[in-house]
Amino acid sequence: MLGRDLVEALRSLFRADEVFGWDIDEIDIQEENNTIAKVESLQPGIVINVAAYTDVDGCESNGEKAFAVNAEGMRHVALGAARCGSKVVYLSTDYIFDGKKEKPYLEEDLPNPLNVYGRSKLRGEQYVQELAKDSLIVRTEWLYGKHGNNFVASILRQAGEKRALSVVNDQIGLPTYTIDLSKAISLLIEQGARGIFHVANSDPCSWYDYAQMILKLSGIKRVEVIPISSKEAGRQATRPSYSVLDTQKFRRETGMDLRPWPEALKDYLSTSP
Ligand X SMILES: NC(=O)c1ccc[n+]([C@@H]2O[C@H](COP(=O)([O-])OP(=O)(O)OC[C@H]3O[C@@H](n4cnc5c(N)ncnc54)[C@H](OP(=O)(O)O)[C@@H]3O)[C@@H](O)[C@H]2O)c1
In sequence order, what are the beta bridge partners of 227? 167
Q: Please tell me the distance from the alpha carbon of residue 207 to that of residue 172, in angstroms, as a whole number.
A: 7
Q: Is 240 in the site for ligand X (CB under 6 A)?
A: no
Is the torsion defined by CA of 152, 158, 160, 162 positive or negative? Answer: negative
Which string of x and - marks every residue 196-225 that binds ligand X (by CB under 6 A)?
A: ------------------------------
For Cα atoms 147, 207, 120, give the angle at the middle one, nearest 5 degrees. Answer: 65
Q: List the interface residues with ligand X, window 43-62 (CB under 6 A).
A: 50-54
Catalytic residue among 117, 127, 208, 242: 117
Helix H or strand E segment including 122: helix 116-131
Q: List the interface residues with ligand X, window 103-162 (CB under 6 A).
A: 121, 140-143, 148
Distance in Å, CB of 50 to ligand X, minimum: 4
Which string of x and - marks every residue 18-47 that binds ligand X (by CB under 6 A)?
A: -----xx--xxxx-----------------
Between 69 and 159, CB nearer to ligand X: 69
Helix (H, G, I), strand (E, B) or coil at 200: coil
117 given a catalytic annotation: yes
Between 91 and 122, CB nearer to ligand X: 91
Q: What is the CA radius of gyration of the chain?
A: 18
CB-based contact 21:4 (threshold 8 Å): yes
CB-based contact 205:172 (threshold 8 Å): yes
**Site residues for ligand X per CB under 6 A:** 1-3, 23-24, 27-30, 50-54, 69, 73, 91, 93, 121, 140-143, 148
Q: Catalytic positions, please?
A: 117
